[in-house]
Amino acid sequence: MPNPHRLLICDDDATLRETLTEQLDLYDEFVVVSEGDAAGAINRVAEDRIDLAVMDVGLPDLDGREAVRVMRRNGYRGPVVMLTAQDSEEDTVEGLEAGANDYVTKPFKFAVLLARIRAHLRQHEASEDAIFQIGPYTFRPGAKLLVGERGSKLKLTEKETAILRFLYRAGREVVGRDTLLAEVWGYNAHVTTHTLETHIYRLRQKIEPNPATAAILVTEAGGYKLLP
């Protein structure tokens, strides 16, 4: 199963917040957290890994669009979907200019919001701003970088980045060597499993506390997988 995406639901309507959380929790692809005000949401995205935020406009302590501005200024780069009871063009433009990626007008069908969430997550994962957690590292594939817990930076090659990105998307599932070769190198007749094994060896030298006993990038029957 792929690694679940962490979603934030921020709405002061407790019933709607709980309903959305319960509905999204039914999908294994999501882990959902919630906040009832802007301050909680701003703190949450700063302190926790949040892959996408669903933000209401009408929050009790701060306009949701202003909260998004603060989140963006503080460095949050994940997608933001705004919920609003107003559907005027001016409201939409203001929200998008504040840094939101999309607008969903209340009342809405859950299936519509779900489709928007999935679409923005797909776009974000392919973007330069995508950030993933691998073991003790923050993985920034756009920058080809692993950042350690104390801020240390490990520069990755293009192939190392591609290997980690594909293994991360597979979650805890084992990825076969042939699959990894095809995904990272394409169907190149001159590339062999030895090439892949060499890259795996070099990756372990960079990321494993003890490369001889892999605890992050492990070998399984027929292939490899990442452990969180």
Token readout for 216 is 């992050």
Phi, psi of 87 (to 5 degrees): -120, 25
Q: What is the pLDDT of residues 187-205, one digit of tens each?
A: 776 788 889 999 999 999 9
Cα separation, 226 vs 210, in Å, equals 15
29 and 4 Cβ atoms separated by less than 8 Å: yes
Question: Which residues lie closer than 8 Å to 217 by C-beta, 6 or more apart?
Answer: 167, 200, 203, 204, 207, 208, 224, 225, 226
Arithmetic mean of pLDDT, 201-224: 92
State the pTM of this model: 0.69
Cα separation, 186 vs 179, in Å, equals 9
Q: How many CA atoms lie within 13 A of 4 on its CB side?
A: 13
Q: What is the pLDDT of residues 36-86, one digit of tens each?
A: 999 999 999 998 889 999 999 999 999 999 999 999 999 898 999 999 887
Cα separation, 138 vs 150, in Å, equals 11
